[in-house]
Amino acid sequence: MTSLLQVKYVTDQRAINGVVRHLNVSVKEGESTHNFNVEESDSEQFQATLDWAASANVEIIKSSKCCEKKPFQWHGGKRQLSNDASLWRYMGLAKFLSLISSNGIWLSRLDQNRALDPLEGKVPRLSLIDEEEQILNTSWAPQYIGKGKHQFGGQPEPGMTKIPRDLIVKSQIEMSKQLSEVSVYNSYVSCWNQDEHESYGMWKAYCDSDNSVAVRTSVGRLIDSVGKNKDFTISGGMIQYLDHESERPASSGFFNSHVFCKSYPYKFENEFRLCFTDHGFVSELMDSEQPYARDGQLIKSNIERYPKGVNLPLDLSFLIEEVRVSPYAVPWLQDTLVDLMEKFNTSENQLKGKPVLPSTMK
């Protein structure tokens, strides 16, 4: 028997061409709970869902913006580093100027990183197998089709046909695979090197000129710089280096575990990653004009409209512990950086007096 658990009226969900209002419906079939959406534009099905809720004495919940007191969350739900662990962000002068002038750090859309690493965001083969097995073992609520409708649960109208379970399972497997694969377009990341010392390899690999810098912070400083009471969440954690064909992520039970995986050739980075996952809701990071979709073809046909990244506002007073000058920089760069930080100093982001130090590799 199918029972209606909850109906939420969502008014801040973005789509490819703007905000789409819909009902998010939660139903229980046996021991399994399932969710699906009914768009307001489908007036007949929308009204039928409202009638079902009324007959089942289920109150319609109006969605409201979520305010996360602690927007930073550890990937996998477990702390991976102490607050004192050092993090480094190596960058050219242009990116450093962007950081101190925008009071935030750029989160790059994950597919943009494939120019350097073609396997970035790729779902490990064993993860796909695990997900398929879970779907096969799930008890799915009955679905019916007919009269121009697709009904989830409940009693079908006369003339509607029940969809065979194997077709439901096949559809769910295809949907799950697609959601994992398109996550590279809905994930935005910032990559940091976790080390207590400067890295020769990082200076050479990730700085576009000799006149570059490295911002040093700590895990605790980075978390504090994100702030509190935000309408978005940021996940963070260490990258797992693996073979995408023969190994599975340690956190494979989490939907975006592959976003925190890279192949072994990049292990020298010892990367700590920040990730904003866009679920399509209007937020401080994504306004109502930004397109959103979960269909790969729809995303690719509109990819020019997708933002290549988002700026994550940070309190630089917390974030920056010190600025380290490249060992290959011209002698006057250190004094220039001190002047720049004084110029962009504000009461909200106090940069004046932050240490600007020469490289220890000289």
Residues constituting the chain:
362
Q: Is 187 helix (H, G, I), strand (E, B) or coil?
A: strand
CA distance 108 to 97: 17
CA distance 313 to 103: 6
User: For residue 3, what are its two tokens?
Assistant: 């029972």
CA distance to 285, 290, 298, 327, per residue, from 200 (Å): 34, 39, 42, 9
**What pLDDT does residue 69 have?**
76
Q: Which residues of the chain are under the pLDDT cut of 70?
A: 1, 30-32, 64-68, 154, 252-253
User: For residue 29, what are its two tokens?
Assistant: 């079939």
Q: Please, which residues have CB within 8 angstroms of residue 326's CB and are 6 or more apart in sequence?
A: 203, 207, 210, 211, 212, 213, 214, 333, 359
**What pLDDT does residue 27 have?**
85
**What pLDDT does residue 304 have?**
94
Q: Please, which residues have CB within 8 angstroms of residue 76's CB and are 6 or more apart in sequence?
A: 237, 250, 251, 254, 257, 260
List pLDDT tens digits, range 302-325: 999 999 999 999 999 999 999 999
**What pLDDT does residue 150 have?**
78
Q: Is 110 helix (H, G, I), strand (E, B) or coil?
A: helix
CA distance 142 to 1: 9
CA distance to 182, 271, 296, per residue, from 175 (Å): 10, 30, 10
List pLDDT tens digits, range 252-279: 667 789 999 999 999 999 999 999 999 9
**What pLDDT does residue 64 have?**
65
Letter for the amino acid at 231? D
CA distance 12 to 63: 8
CA distance 24 to 46: 11
Q: Report the run of H or E that residue 22 belongs to, with start and end.
A: strand 22-29
Letter for the amino acid at 338? V
User: Is 14 within 8 Å of 279 (Cβ atoms)?
Assistant: no
User: For residue 263, what are its two tokens?
Assistant: 């192949």
Beta-strand (E) ranges in 196-259?
212-218, 234-238, 240-242
CA distance 19 to 3: 29
**What pLDDT does residue 182 have?**
87
